[in-house]
Amino acid sequence: MRRENTRIFEKETTGSFMNKEFIAINALLTVEQAILYLRENVRDKRNIYYVYIINEHDRLIGALSIRELLSKDSNRLVSEVKVSKIIFFKTDIDQEEAVKVFRDTDLVSIPVVNENGKLIGVVHVEDILDVMQQEATEDFHRMAPVSQKLDGGLIESTIGALYRKRIVWLIILVFINVFSGAGIAHFQDVIEANIALVFFLPLLVDSGGNAGSQSSTLVIRAMATGDIHLKDWFRMFTKEVVLSMAMGFTMALAVSAVGLMRGGVTIAIVVSITMVCIVVVGSLVGMSLPFIFRRLKLDPATASAPLITSICDITGVLIYFGIANKLLNL
Amino acid sequence: MRRENTRIFEKETTGSFMNKEFIAINALLTVEQAILYLRENVRDKRNIYYVYIINEHDRLIGALSIRELLSKDSNRLVSEVKVSKIIFFKTDIDQEEAVKVFRDTDLVSIPVVNENGKLIGVVHVEDILDVMQQEATEDFHRMAPVSQKLDGGLIESTIGALYRKRIVWLIILVFINVFSGAGIAHFQDVIEANIALVFFLPLLVDSGGNAGSQSSTLVIRAMATGDIHLKDWFRMFTKEVVLSMAMGFTMALAVSAVGLMRGGVTIAIVVSITMVCIVVVGSLVGMSLPFIFRRLKLDPATASAPLITSICDITGVLIYFGIANKLLNL
C-alpha cells in the first residue's frame, strides 16, 4: 500500500483526491466473519459506508453497503451475496467526470482501482462537494472576466495577485474594443451629419451584448450540466432565430418612442430596425460560439459574457451605422 | 408518521427535501439488540449510514454511524455509547444553509426534527448534490441576466418560456441605458466639436463595465461561499482603491497610443485620464454594490454583471464627456 501512496497522480483526477481509508473483505469469508472483521477494523476509520470485496490478488470483484452486508444471512459466503456489477473509477478520471457520476447515482463512496484492477482507494462524496464548490467558483469567475483562479480567498489575496488575476482580460478587451472605435471612425460622415445617432449608441450596442450574453450563458451552463450536446446545435439555432426576433421586436417597440422623441421619425425607424438586427445577431453569436469552442475542443465557457459583449459591440456598431448610412443618405 | 408526511413545508427548505427513510433506535436497547433491529429493518431502505437514537417520546437524543455502532461492545446500552452532541436541522432551514453545513462537516446524512424535537426525516448528501447543482445554475444564470429559473432543461423549454425568461431584464436594461443617451445628449456641443471623442466611447465605457463586473463577481461569489462578510467592506474598499488605480494606469497606458494616433495629443490626454477615473469608479461601484444589497437584506447577486455594466455605462458617459468638456473648452 505504501508504494501506491507515493505515486504522483495528475492534478484534478480521481487518483489525486481519492483517500486510503476503506475496508476490503476477502470474498471467501462468510457474512458472519465479514461483519466480525468489519467490527474489528472499522474503529478509527472515517466515512466507511461500504465494504469492498477483493479476491486473493487484491483485485476488486464486488461491493456491499454495510446495510446490505448486515441484512444478509450470516452463514453465506461473501462471494455469493456480493454485488458484482459495481461502479468504480480508474485513477485518471477527471474531477468533473467524477462529479457527474456521483450526481447520477446515489453512492456516497466510489472505489478507485489501479491499472491491474487492484483496489487502491476510494473517492468519498465529501471530496465531491469540495470539487463542485471549486468548479462552480471557477465557472462563475469566468463570467467576470477573471483569468486564472485565485489561490486562497478574496480577503487574504494580495493586491498584486488580484492585479494579475484581473488585468489580462481587461487589456485584451481594450484591444478588442479598439475595433469598435475603428468601425465608428469609418462612419464619421453620417455621424457628423446626424449627431443624434450617438445618443442611441450605448443603448443599441449594449442590448446586443445583453441578448448575446444571455444566450451564451444559458448554453454554456446547459453544456456543463450535460443538458445539451454538439448535435443539438441546429435545433437550438432555429429556436434562437424565432426567439431573438420576438425579443428584438419587443425591444424595438420599447425604444421607438424614445427614438421618436429624441431624433424624429427617420432616427426612430433607424433605431428600431437596428435593434431587431442587433438582438438577432447578438443572440445567434452568443448561442453559437460555445458550440464552436466545444467543436474546436476548447472549453465552451471561454465564450463567456465579456468576450460575447465585445464581439456584439463591434458587430453592433457596424450594423447601426451601416443601416443609418443606407437610410439617412437616401 | 403519516401525519407529518402530509404537512406542507416551505419550498427550498430542509422540510421540503428531507426524506423519510431512516432507522430510529430506542436508547434503552443494548448494542447487540440494536444491531439485530438494524439488520431486520434495513433491508429495503436506501442510504442508511447512521442510526438515530430516540427516547420514549420519539425525540432525537443522539446518533451513531453504523460503523460506530458495530465497533461498540455488544452488551452496553445504546444510551451509554451514543453520540449526544449531534448536528440536526429544523424543518425551515434554507437549502443554501444546509449546503454549507454539509460542506463544513463530513456527514452524509443529517436528521430533521419538528418543533417538539421529534425525529421526522433525514437530509441525505445526495439531495445536497442536486441542490448545489441547482443553486450553481441559478447563480450562473443571474450573470446572464436571466430573470426567473427555467423549469426543465434548455432543450425542452418552449420559445414562449425562454422569451419570458429573457425579455424582462433586456427591457429593464434598455430603459436604464436611455440615461446614457440622455448623458450624451447633454454634452452634444463638445461631441459635435470633437467627433473623434465618439471613437473612444465604446472602449472607455466598456472598460468601466468590465472592471466593475470583475469586482462584483468576485465579491458576490466570496459572499456566497462565506469567504467575506459585511464587516469586511472597509478593508475591501481600501484594497480596491489601490488595485483599481494600478489597473486604470495600465489600461490608460494601453489606450494612450491609440488616442494619440486617432485623435492627437489633447484627445489622448482626455482618453487616458478618463480611463483611470472610469476604471476606479467602476471597480468601486462593482465592489460596493453587493455589500449595499446585502445590507438592505437583498440578494447580493442582484448586483450582477448586467446591472453593474449599465450603471458603469451611465457614469462612464458622464465622466468621459465631463472631462472632455473641461479640458477641450480651456
B171 CB burial (10 A radius; 0-12, 13-18, 19+): middle
A134 → chain B, closest CA residue: B225
In chain B, residues with a C-beta closer than 8 Å to the C-beta of A247 are 163, 166-167, 170
What are the C-alpha distances in Å from B251 to residues A177, A179, A182, B279? Answer: 12, 16, 18, 9
Cell 418612442 belongs to residue:
A257
Q: What's the pLDDT at A7?
A: 61
Query: A45-73 burial by CB neighbour count: b if 16+ within 10 A, else e?
Result: eebbbbbbbbeeebebbbbbbbbbbbbbe
In chain B, residues with a C-beta closer than 8 Å to the C-beta of A213 are 143-145, 305-306
Please compute the mean of the pLDDT values over residues B186-215 and round it to a whole number.
89
Lowest mean pLDDT of A122-136, A150-164, B134-148, B197-211, name the range. Answer: B134-148
Q: What's the pLDDT at B285?
A: 93
Which one is predicted more confidently, B317 or A129?
Answer: B317
Whole-number Å distance between alpha carbons of A280 and A274 = 10
Q: Which helix (H) or strand (E) holds B119?
A: strand B119-124
**Beta strand pairing call for A24-26 and A50-54:** parallel
Q: What's the pLDDT at A181?
A: 85
Please work out, in degrees rounded to the nearest 5, the angle formed at the alpha carbon of residue B217 by the alpha carbons of B212 and B222: 130
Whole-number Å distance between alpha carbons of A201 and A259 = 12
Could you list the pLDDT tens digit for every one of the 330 residues in chain A? 334 444 677 777 888 888 888 999 999 999 999 988 888 887 777 778 889 999 989 999 999 988 888 888 889 999 999 998 999 999 888 888 888 888 888 788 899 999 999 999 999 888 888 888 777 777 777 666 665 555 567 777 888 888 887 888 888 888 888 888 888 888 988 998 888 899 999 889 889 988 988 888 888 888 877 788 889 899 889 999 999 999 999 999 999 988 888 888 999 999 999 999 999 999 999 999 989 988 888 777 766 777 888 888 889 999 999 999 999 876
Which one is predicted more confidently, B152 or B264?
Answer: B264
Residue numbers of A between 131 and 150 with CB closer than 8 Å to B:
132-133, 136-137, 139-141, 143-146
What are the C-alpha distances in Å from A210 to residues A179, A236, A239, A281, A307? Answer: 19, 18, 18, 12, 12
The per-residue pLDDT for range B165-177, each reduced to its tens digit, is: 888 888 888 888 8
Helices A201-224 + B305-328 axis angle, to 10: 150
> From the CA atom positions of chain B, what is the Rg in Å?
29
Q: Do A191 and B198 touch (CB under 8 A)?
A: yes
Q: Do B66 and A43 touch (CB under 8 A)?
A: no
In chain A, residues with a C-beta closer than 8 Å to the C-beta of B236 are 154-155
Please compute the mean of the pLDDT values over residues B70-86 and round it to a whole number.
90
Q: Which helix (H) or strand (E) holds B53?
A: strand B50-54
Q: Are B124 and A212 in contact (CB under 8 A)?
A: no
A119 CB burial (10 A radius; 0-12, 13-18, 19+): buried
Residue ranges and CATH numbers for the domains of chain B are 2-123 (3.10.580.10), 178-328 (1.10.357.20)
Summary mean pLDDT of chain B: 85
The per-residue pLDDT for range B264-290, each reduced to its tens digit, is: 899 999 999 999 999 999 999 999 998
ipTM of the shown complex:
0.73
The per-residue pLDDT for range B232-252, each reduced to its tens digit, is: 899 989 999 999 999 999 999
Q: Which residues, 6+ apart, have CB-to-CB distance to A326 below 8 Å?
A: none
